[in-house]
């Protein structure tokens, strides 16, 4: 069972049979074999990816997976969130195209993004890989 949480609804936890995010990439692009997934709708500018506090969400199957994802994302010096912002800003995003791009892909972590042809937003999904390569 997946638990979901939106930062803007601080005490609103929901449960579902499959992973889904209120903010971030669409659920058909989320892995089902990860323990925790983070998503956000960010503002994409020429040289920055602005992550807004109240436009983030998470879903998780285990509390330990959620703790691991938070630790990896928030690590001192920017962690993977800082790396996502930097690499995302350095990539070319066509604001008129609905196309997924991989921002980070390591043996243990993956982050994808898509503008969904929104002309200014970048939707992100990031997760810790579990088991075999995804």
CATH for the 2-128 domain, from 2.40.10.480, 3.40.50.720, 3.40.50.300, 3.30.450.20: 3.30.450.20
Residue extents of the structural domains in the chain: 2-128
Query: How far is Cα 26 from Cα 114, in angstroms, rounded to an integer?
Result: 10
Q: Is the pLDDT of residue 77 over 50?
A: yes
pTM of the predicted protein model: 0.89
Which tens digit of pLDDT belongs to each residue from 22-75?
Answer: 899 999 999 999 999 999 999 998 888 999 888 999 999 999 999 998 888 886
The position carrying tokens 């691991």 is 68
Q: What is the pLDDT of residue 132?
A: 43
Which tens digit of pLDDT belongs to each residue from 109-132?
Answer: 999 999 999 989 999 999 999 864
H or E element, residue 63: helix 63-74
How far, in Å, are 55, 60, 91 from residue 13 at the CA level? 15, 11, 34
Q: What is the pLDDT of residue 91?
A: 93
Query: Is 19 in contact with 37 (CB distance < 8 Å)?
Result: yes
């Amino acid at each position: 069972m997946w638990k979901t949480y939106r930062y803007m609804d601080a005490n609103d936890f929901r449960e579902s049979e499959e992973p889904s995010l209120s903010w971030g990439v669409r659920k058909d692009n989320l892995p089902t074999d990860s323990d925790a997934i983070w998503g956000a709708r960010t503002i994409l500018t020429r040289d920055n990816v602005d992550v807004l506090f109240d436009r983030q969400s998470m879903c998780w199957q285990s509390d330990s997976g959620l703790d691991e994802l938070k630790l990896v994302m928030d690590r001192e010096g920017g962690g993977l969130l800082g790396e996502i912002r930097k690499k995302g800003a350095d990539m070319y995003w066509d604001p008129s195209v609905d196309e997924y791009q991989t921002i980070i892909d390591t043996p243990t972590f993956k982050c994808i993004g898509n503008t969904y042809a929104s002309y200014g937003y970048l939707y992100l999904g990031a997760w810790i890989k579990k088991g075999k390569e995804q």
